[in-house]
Chain A
Amino acid sequence: MHIPDGYLSPQTCATFYAASTAAVGFAFAKFKKSVDEKTFVNLSVASAFTFIVMMFNFPVVGGSSAHITGIPLITYLFGPFASIIASTVVLIIQALLFRDGGILALGTNVFNMAIAIPLVTIFVDSLLKIANLKNEKVRMFISTYISTNVAALLTAVELGLQPILFTKAGKPLYFMYDLKTTIPAMMVPHLLMVGVVEAVLTVLLYSPLKNFAKIKK
């Protein structure tokens, strides 16, 4: 899900840099209000966890590979704002140190993963609460599954729009496959496998890790 440099037009990159900067700035302002020493411990652990989870690539249908992010889990443990900051830090490090995801594409990658996943997770969870779904684990499963797939869909749409919007002499300037290819290529593995793995992991790990998160408060 980490878009490399060159795949997106500068216009796309600039748009998402602006959106991500605003969202991360807002999350940071919210987070700053409730900050104490333990918050930083939580954040560093959440960040390190997300970072390491993303290193476990596994084969998926269609002959490519994918990884989960762990972001829905840390969203449930530490809240959406802490989760946004923790995962933004991870994406910055991945881009700067390990060339996992581009520098120009960083704003887009932050938007797809660090911002969309926590917000969609919390949004779907509260919708399910309103719908009176009392079982916390079921809510967790559904909202994790949906947020993971929303992130994949965002990536697919951003990539798939490139050859539609940016061509020169009939040839693509940046990413080469349009939505007809990118949407099934991203969504089939995420709908069938990645989303399920992420959801199962969130449900299984939440209870044992909850105590760790709680003792910090």
Chain B
Amino acid sequence: MKRGVSKNFKTILIILFALAILTPLGLLTQNPAFGEWTEEEIKKMLGFVPEGLKRYAEIYKFDLFDGYSVKFIHNQYIGYILSALIGIGVIFAIFFLLKHLMTERK
């Protein structure tokens, strides 16, 4: 059973990696999603930026991977793939940690 799990898991990792490489396909459309505009886009649409929107829009400042582009990498496709891999890595790390915390307490 243990072997079955690890073999399956390897397959899943390969699939996830392949999907990560393919993520730049998601960049083919440059249309912003409805209701996910930047302040500049809103200003263009309305002629002004709503007061409260302006006040809270920038409340969180961390922008190293802003919008799945990596700050120091100028190729957006490579940045997107890297973001995908970083995200998967962080997710696995979180659940690995959670597993240790939760099984220890038992």
Given contacts A38-B5, A40-B99, A67-B26, contact A173 B52 (CB under 8 A): yes
Interface string of A179-197 (1 = CB under 8 A from B): 0001001100100000000
CA distance A55 to B53 in the complex (A): 25
CB–CB A155/B57 < 8 A: no
B29 surroundings in chain A (CB, below 8 A): 57-59, 65
CB–CB B84/A55 < 8 A: yes
How many contacts A-B (CB < 8 Å)?
Answer: 181
Interface size for B (C-beta < 8 A) is 61
Given contacts A7-B35, A99-B60, contact A49 B16 (CB under 8 A): yes
Least CB distance from B48 to A in Å reads: 7
Chain B residue nearest in CB terms to A32: B102
A117 interface contact, C-beta 8 A: no
Least CB distance from A56 to B in Å reads: 4
CB–CB B54/A6 < 8 A: yes
Most A CB contacts (10 A, CB to CB) among B25, B32, B50 go to B50
B55 interface contact, C-beta 8 A: yes
A17-25, A124-132, A164-172: which one contacts chain B? A164-172
Chain A residue nearest in CB terms to B23: A55
Point out residues on A near B: beta carbons under 8 Å.
1-7, 9-10, 32, 35, 37-38, 40-41, 43-45, 47-49, 51-53, 55-59, 62-67, 89-90, 93-100, 102-104, 155, 159, 166, 168, 171-176, 182, 185-186, 189, 211-212, 215-216
